[in-house]
Amino acid sequence: MDDKENWIGIANRFANQGDFRGMRASAKEILQLASEDADAYAIMAEASFYMDEREKAAEYLAQAEGSEKGNLRARLVRAAFFAADFALEEEIGELLAIVQATEAVGESLWTESMRYVRFKALAWLSDARLLAAEPELSMNTLFAASDMCKGRRSGIVLQQGALLFELPREDAGRIAAPPSRLRKILRGGQALSSV
């Protein structure tokens, strides 16, 4: 793994922990390695967006797009802007494009950055589809996101989905089921009661 990918991995872990200053620090390390790196600027944009610094986020986003048109992490930040403005159609379109772009690359060639972006895009797309009154597409997208996870994390993603789709009371005890069993319960249609 090269230094850039290492710093991206660290930034991703900071993002998952909610440490946005840590994300910025990681991005600055990447910029010391390559002064015009699109991924670094996209990480800065993402961190700034999460910190509710939208103007700064927009500036970093422009730098990322200027360095590499179509950068997937920059597109993820653009989707976040659409989500914040409740522009569902644009958000869904951007997220679908990200997912499709990652599908065009064989999974064995995915970098850690691409995995992170794909997982976030799928998770956000699931939310956006639910808000757009597309519950079945939302749940299928959630399954795709959970398939990227292993073990306990997969179960957590599916449990959140089960709660989103409000399992009937008699099925509530099954939420604690192992991920493979919970996936069967949800895919069996038993869980989509009140959507």
> Which pLDDT tens digit goes with each residue over 97-148?
999 998 888 766 677 788 889 989 998 998 898 888 888 888 888 878 877 7
The residues near 163 (Cβ < 8 Å, ≥ 6 apart) are 175
Where are any strands of DSSP class E within 42-159? none
Query: 14-22: long-range contacts (C-beta < 8 A, 24 or more apart)?
Result: 15/46, 15/47, 15/50, 15/116, 18/50, 20/47, 20/48, 20/50, 20/51, 21/47
* Interval 144-164 mean pLDDT: 62
Identify the residue with better confidence: 29 or 152: 29
DSSP 8-state code for residue 104: T
- pLDDT confidence of residue 69: 94
* Interval 160-175 mean pLDDT: 49
- pLDDT confidence of residue 153: 55
- pLDDT confidence of residue 159: 55
Two tokens, residue 171: 């099925």
Distance CA 31, CA 168 (A): 50
pLDDT digits (tens, 9 = 90+) for 47-72: 999 999 999 999 999 999 999 999 99
Which residue, among 4, 54, 45, has the nearest Cα to 23 in the 3D structure?
Answer: 45
- pLDDT confidence of residue 175: 43
* Interval 13-17 mean pLDDT: 90
pLDDT digits (tens, 9 = 90+) for 23-46: 999 999 999 999 999 999 999 999
Identify the residue with better confidence: 159 or 68: 68
